């Protein structure tokens, strides 16, 4: 590009007083919070367990489900409303079926056989496959796969989360991570036959999650267009 | 990062100017840029022990938060005009003549206004590049778009701004 030095001319140093005040404020908050961190964490864990148990019973009711979506905490995760989820990771899981597509589900049973009809939980060497949804139109398939890395089928907490996801069928909630809501990464990786979008995020418990979307007939641009279309 | 004991003072010193300038390019207002910078570092600080470097680079994590702070800000804002006098304070060294200071201020105002007129997506990318000092590759990773796409948007936006600046300059002297 030709000389674009002029574009930097708006830069300026933050005011020193502002920087000092901010740093002092952060340090002050940090000291105040550290004394309560452990007790708060413990309370949060207990509340989470109660909510997990309750949710299994309540989720069958659409009205109650909406409430649970707002308040459910699972292993330090805080579910946010579907509307908020759309704001932060709008293309992770389309809330509405893109025009012209029909929703199908595709999953593998414990023996690895491909099945259709319901999302189920299965495990693999690196973690737990939470489920997958396939979209189809005119023999063009888009598959979305959610995975929990570092999860274990022997871990009760992980299983509770997985059952929760499976129960939800389309696991449309995304999560507020301690108010950050942003620890995710999306990559588009074009290659000869398939394009792929990978979205990664993690829980406060440090468990990494990923969602991978593949298609056998959409270009990279097509993926982005489709993703943006559900924003 | 949570496993080690990072030098947060050093991180703060390195990133505050970049975050602040990112917001300055986005909102064209010093006070708001300071407020949004404070909000960003507040969130970062509150969650600093939860950051994992195997998930994302630190600057990516930090600017993802900054990006969301900006999104939150614009969502809450009703469209309003900001007085051009409030956009940038009069800056300059003691050696500058009043004419030079006024000229510099005028040029900054022009540039700020033209950036503000860009579509929001382009504003964001321009702010990340020229305010926060990110490379095209880093912006591509942060916004999940291709590097070539970033290059195209930057090229187009700068070209447009340059053209409008020249046009205004010609009108001024014409």
Q: What is the pLDDT of residues B151-169, one digit of tens each?
A: 888 888 888 888 888 888 7
Query: pTM of the entire structure?
Result: 0.48
Helix axes B8-27, B58-76, angle to 10 degrees: 40
Whether B113 contacts chain A with CB within 8 A: no
Whether B74 contacts chain A with CB within 8 A: no
Give pLDDT, residue B23.
94
Q: In which band, very low, low, confident or very high, does the pLDDT at B145 lie, cut at 50, 70 and 90?
A: confident
Q: How far is the alpha carbon of B163 from chain A, nearest alpha carbon, in Å?
A: 12
Mean per-residue pLDDT, B90-110: 56
B141·A10 Cβ contact <8 A: no
Q: Which residue has the higher pLDDT, B53 or B114?
A: B114
Tokens 């036959």 sit on residue = A193
| Alpha helices by DSSP H, chain A | 16-34, 37-58, 62-71, 82-88, 156-168, 220-229
Q: Say what percent of chain A tops pLDDT 70.
A: 11
Phi then psi for A189, rounded to 5 degrees?
Answer: -125, 95
Q: In which band, very low, low, confident or very high, does the pLDDT at B81 lie, cut at 50, 70 and 90?
A: very low
Give pLDDT, residue A148.
55
pLDDT at B114 over 80: yes
- Chain A interface, mutation test: which of B64, B127, B135, most A Cβ atoms within 10 Å? B64
Q: Which residue has the higher pLDDT, A158 or B90?
A: A158
Q: Closest partner residue to A26 among B42, B88, B146, by Cβ?
A: B42
Q: How far is the alpha carbon of A34 from chain B, nearest alpha carbon, in Å?
A: 10
Whether B37 contacts chain A with CB within 8 A: yes
Residues 6+ apart with CB under 8 A from B57: B141
Q: Closest partner residue to A180 among B65, B108, B112, by Cβ?
A: B65
pLDDT at A82 over 60: no
Task: Supply the ipTM of this predicted assembly.
Answer: 0.78
Q: How many CB pairs below 8 Å do chains A and B form together? A: 120
B153 CB-side CA count, 13 A: 23
B21·A25 Cβ contact <8 A: no
Residues 38-67 of chain B with CB under 8 A from chain A are: 38, 41-43, 45-47, 50-52, 54-56, 60-61, 64-65, 67
pLDDT at A79 over 60: no
pLDDT at B59 over 50: yes
Mean per-residue pLDDT, B117-130: 89
Q: Out of A74-78, A103-107, A139-143, B39-43, pick the least confident.
A: A74-78
Helix axes B136-143, B147-173, angle to 10 degrees: 120
Give pLDDT, residue B2.
42
Give pLDDT, residue B48.
72
pLDDT tens digits, one per residue of B9-40: 778 888 899 999 999 999 888 888 998 999 89
Q: How far is the alpha carbon of B167 from chain A, nearest alpha carbon, in Å?
A: 16
Q: Closest partner residue to B52 among A2, A7, A202, by Cβ?
A: A202
pLDDT at B128 over 90: yes
Q: Is A114 helix (H, G, I), strand (E, B) or coil?
A: strand
Q: Which residue has the higher pLDDT, A26 or A176?
A: A26
Q: Out of A77-81, A93-97, A116-120, B53-57, pick the least confident.
A: A77-81
Q: Out of A12-16, A80-84, B51-55, pick the least confident.
A: A80-84
Provide, as residue numbers in chain B, all residues whose Cβ is less than 8 Å from the Cβ of A208: 52, 54-55
Give pLDDT, residue B129.
92
Is A231:A86 a contact under the CB 8 Å cutoff? yes
B107·A14 Cβ contact <8 A: no
Beta partners for A145?
A132, A212
Helix axes A16-34, B30-46, angle to 10 degrees: 30
B71·A180 Cβ contact <8 A: no
């Amino acid at each position: 590009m030709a000389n674009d030095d002029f574009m930097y001319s708006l830069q300026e140093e933050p005011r020193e007083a502002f920087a000092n005040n901010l740093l002092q404020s952060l340090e002050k908050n940090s000291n105040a919070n550290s004394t309560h961190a452990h007790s708060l964490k413990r309370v949060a864990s207990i509340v989470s367990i109660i909510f997990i148990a309750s949710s299994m019973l309540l989720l069958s009711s659409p009205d109650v489900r909406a409430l649970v979506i707002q308040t459910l905490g699972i292993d330090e995760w805080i579910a946010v409303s579907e509307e908020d989820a759309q704001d932060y990771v709008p293309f992770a899981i389309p809330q509405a079926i893109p025009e012209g597509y029909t929703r199908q589900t595709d999953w593998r049973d414990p023996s690895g056989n491909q099945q259709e009809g319901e999302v189920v939980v299965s495990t693999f060497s690196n973690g737990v496959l939470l489920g997958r949804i396939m979209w189809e139109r005119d023999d063009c398939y888009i598959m979305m796969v959610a995975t929990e890395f570092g999860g274990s089928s022997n871990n009760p907490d992980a299983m509770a989360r997985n059952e929760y996801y499976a129960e939800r069928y389309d696991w449309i909630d995304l999560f507020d991570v301690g108010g950050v809501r942003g620890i995710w990464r999306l990559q588009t990786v074009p290659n000869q036959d398939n394009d792929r979008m990978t979205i990664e995020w993690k829980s406060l418990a440090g468990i990494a999650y990923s969602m991978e979307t593949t298609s056998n007939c959409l270009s990279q641009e097509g993926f982005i267009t489709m993703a943006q279309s559900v924003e | 990062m949570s496993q080690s004991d990072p030098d947060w003072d050093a991180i703060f010193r390195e990133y505050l100017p970049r975050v602040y300038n990112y917001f300055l390019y986005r909102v064209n207002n010093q006070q708001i840029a300071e407020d949004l910078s404070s909000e960003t570092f507040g969130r970062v600080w509150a969650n600093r022990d939860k950051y994992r470097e195997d998930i994302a680079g630190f600057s990516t994590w930090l600017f993802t938060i900054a990006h969301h702070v900006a999104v939150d800000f614009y969502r809450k804002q009703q469209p309003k005009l900001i007085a051009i006098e409030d956009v940038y304070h009069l800056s300059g060294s003691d050696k500058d003549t009043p004419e030079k200071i006024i000229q510099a201020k005028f040029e900054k105002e022009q540039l700020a206004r033209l950036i503000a007129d860009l579509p929001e997506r382009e504003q964001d990318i321009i702010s990340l590049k020229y305010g926060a000092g990110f490379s095209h590759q880093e912006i591509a990773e942060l916004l999940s778009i291709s590097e070539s796409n970033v290059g195209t948007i930057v090229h187009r936006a700068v070209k447009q701004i340059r053209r409008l600046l020249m046009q205004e300059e010609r009108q001024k002297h014409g």
